[in-house]
Amino acid sequence: MTMIQVDAEKCTGCGQCELVCPHNCFAVAGGVATIISSNCLECGHCLAACPVSAISVVALADPLYFETFTELEGVAVPEPGGVPELVRLLRSRRSVRNYSAKPVPLSLLQYLVKIGTTAPSGTNSQLWTFALLEHRADVIGLGDGVAHFFKKLNKKAANPVLRGLARLFAGDSLGRYYRNHYKAIKHGLEAWFDRGEDQLFHGATAAILVGGLKKASCPCEDALLATGQILLAAQQMGLGTCLIGFVVEALRHDAGLREVVGVGSDEEVYAVIALGYSAEKYLRPAPRKRIAGRVVKLSRGKTSYGCSRSSLS
């Protein structure tokens, strides 16, 4: 199925789509962008970056609608004038996967951490942990550790005997990994080790590891809420960000790597934010797909709550 369409009449072959696409779905040839992969993430980067609006993404043809004023009519909002601005900020944040070499000053990273702590926390425990990687060399160092973790994991997953044994004694997580991630990780590892390309941190010059002490009542939720505040504040400061789940996964399983970045046995890292000055430019917000999960309105009956489906248009 065609997931992306390029209007060849409009396309100027500028290559912005090729630059921003996280899954390398585009190639510019003969002055026009063509689709070379069906591996589309449906993130909308391409249509948000295209200067001549030549791209459409099928899954985003009927997106969520974000005009706030009519939706909010009759609702008490403290500063109604500020809501569209806030929604603009929320919608303008993108996961950036191309960074310039310009470093992010440590003071900015520290300020972002302070902003992170404006988030709510379970029982107001505020037991966050933050680790700052200020220099590109530090980011590469962590990336190297992560790459070695995945190299070992890929070697294990490639072995059918090990996959079979793992399924017998520990569930099918190794098999699932093999089916869903092995190939992409193999390509990423070749890029990292053979060509010196950074498909993990995407060239980010800095990173913030957000975690929490395990004794907190909701350390994971607290960390992710702080992370959300940081992503938005960074966007407003003109910084690009991208969450890097692969690093979180490696830190969860690799004790040696945890030691390298000083994660104690009493804490866990729940989010890794790649940060830097973006080398990508987005001209408009990307649409959001309609919600795939359920949105229901609950109303209390005599013995239980009844659900009625409501739609977000």
Residues that bind ligand FMN (CB under 6 A): 22, 41, 43, 94-95, 97, 242-246
Q: How far is the CB of 165 from ligand FMN (least distance, A)?
A: 28
Longest Cα–Cα distance of the chain, Å, equals 67
Q: Which residue in 4, 9, 43 sits closest to 26, CA to CA?
A: 4
Nearer to ligand FMN, 43 or 50 (CB): 43
CB of residue 30 vs ligand FMN: minimum separation in angstroms?
29
Would you say 95 or 278 has its CB closer to ligand FMN? 95
Q: From the CB of 65, what's the least distance to ligand FMN, in Å? A: 17
Residue nearer to ligand FMN on the CB measure, 130 or 246: 246
Minimal distance, residue 210 CB to ligand FMN, in Å: 11
- Compare residues 11 and 244 and give the one whose CB is closer to ligand FMN: 244
Work out how close the CB of 231 gets to ligand FMN at its nearest, in angstroms, rounded to a whole number. Answer: 8
Structure tokens at 207: 């990173």
Residue type, 12: T
Closest CB to ligand FMN among residues 42, 138: 42
User: In the complex, which residue's CB is closest to ligand FMN?
Assistant: 245
